Chains A and B, each alone.
Chain A
Amino acid sequence: MMLEVRKLTSHYGRIQALKGIDVIIEEGELVALVGANGAGKTTLLRTVSGVQPASAGAIWFDGRDITRMAADKRVAAGIAQVPEGRQVFGPLSVEDNLRLGAYRRKGENPAGDLERIYTLFPILKEKRNQAAGTLSGGQQQMLAIGRALMSHPRLLLLDEPSMGLAPLLVAEIFKTIQELKKLGTTIFLIEQNATAALSVADRGYVLETGAVVLADSGKALLTNEQVKQAYLGM
């Protein structure tokens, strides 16, 4: 098992955002987690990345308990996150953003990795000397994904990568996600765009107000009546 989240709870002050979450991700899987606004999706990813403390429960990664591990050490251990809203380093150049993605691997020459990212997203190569803040939303999303890949993650966490993008770009981002899966990256994909996410996912979870209410294969969830009504607008 690559990631195992057990009975995880987390709070913002007195507000409980996660109410005992159980999630399992096997090596090589693409797992989607869908849920409405405020369900706790981002909080779950933040807790897995270690930028939000867990109140109780446990997170295991690669057979290690990482519940209390510092965020920077989790990156070194192989967990990378593409955060909600992209969060690129606006005033820094595109290439500097990518280089910072490889921050935990400082000793190594990232030239080969940069080329790999530029092959995946040619537009980033074209704009590599521009400030990241001047990129369009779609380009910033590609940059955020590229930056996360620079750390050679074993587990890639994606928080609503399609948010705010035009349909054509959404399709492109999803195509990239499928390519990454083919290359062997384990992916945990958070989405409000449930149709798209569940169609590409091996398995899926449905989150409601801080708790998992459904867990099944992606296909099964797509045809589940409850899911259809609540998230697929059918």
Chain B
Amino acid sequence: MAVDYIYVEVILRAYRKYFLNKFLWFLVTLVSAFLLNFILPRLMPGDPVAAIVSRLAQGMSNTSGIQAIYEQYTELFGTNKPLLEQFVIYVKNVVQGDFGFSFSQYPRTVADVIKSSIWWTIALQFPAIIVGWLIGNSLGALAAYLRGSFDKVFMPISIFASNLPAFGMAVILMVVFAVTLKWFPTSGGYGFDLIPNFSWKFIWSVIVHYQLPFWSIVLITIGGQAIGMRSMSIYELNADYVKYSRFMGIKDRKIVSYVFRNAMLPQITGLALSIGTMVGGALVAEIIFSYPGLGSTILTAVLGQDYPLISAATLIITIMVLSANFLIEIVYGFLDPRIKAVQAD
């Protein structure tokens, strides 16, 4: 008799293989992100790096201050050296966290600007996305299970909500709850008259300012996730194993638990794949609230023609997204029992 089942002695080995695979892929994407971040601007017709160099050569920047910043940048990144050499210098600098001076917020360094905004973004977006994901999936599962009128009312609302751009939701929440009802402040990460410290007053102010940006991201996430979970669940409800389980007399409640667990797993993969897009939408929502995160940083950088800051901010966001993606994959590895089986093949 042929060996028609696979017997793995050490499950751990399979897990290790999975994680190693994922980690290697993480590294590959990271390196590619570096490469793209370096090369894309230099390929474009308006190449901002070349522009810096040429303006420097022509001495066009009349104010000596700007001239000095450009010089520092050119020196730090060797922008008039050959491309390959530039890349090596770039990677070296970036690894050391040295992105040069910000053009628009001189004398602050880019690293300093990023450092002061990144935590706002992380603390805002990731909790919001996770909360939205959880609520959305529960509601979607409920809609698939209950169908009927709950489904009929809830689904159109979610479809409409998920089609609202994140900034649209942000504006609406802001107009309703901040401008009209005045329950929450309209903008900022904390009261403009406060200096960041660990007083209760400050913390309270941060919490109050956090609410609207947070809920606008949550609401947007809920819509899309609910729709996805609902159709995943309906798809699973039609799966062959559901029919078989029913005909073996298993109770509906049990079958529903099978279905939701199985429908949830692709939703996790879906989260890993779409977290980039979500973060993008949320960054724009940050801008609406003038939240002191990376979204607003990018806006000021764009307005100030601050290439080093843009470059660093986009790189940091990419690294954030890639890491989140990697983390989700790791969690998924623990949740889906099939992973170890497939890896053992």
A, B: real partners: no
Taking beta carbons and an 8 Å cutoff, which residues of B are in contact with A? none
Taking beta carbons and an 8 Å cutoff, which residues of A are in contact with B? none
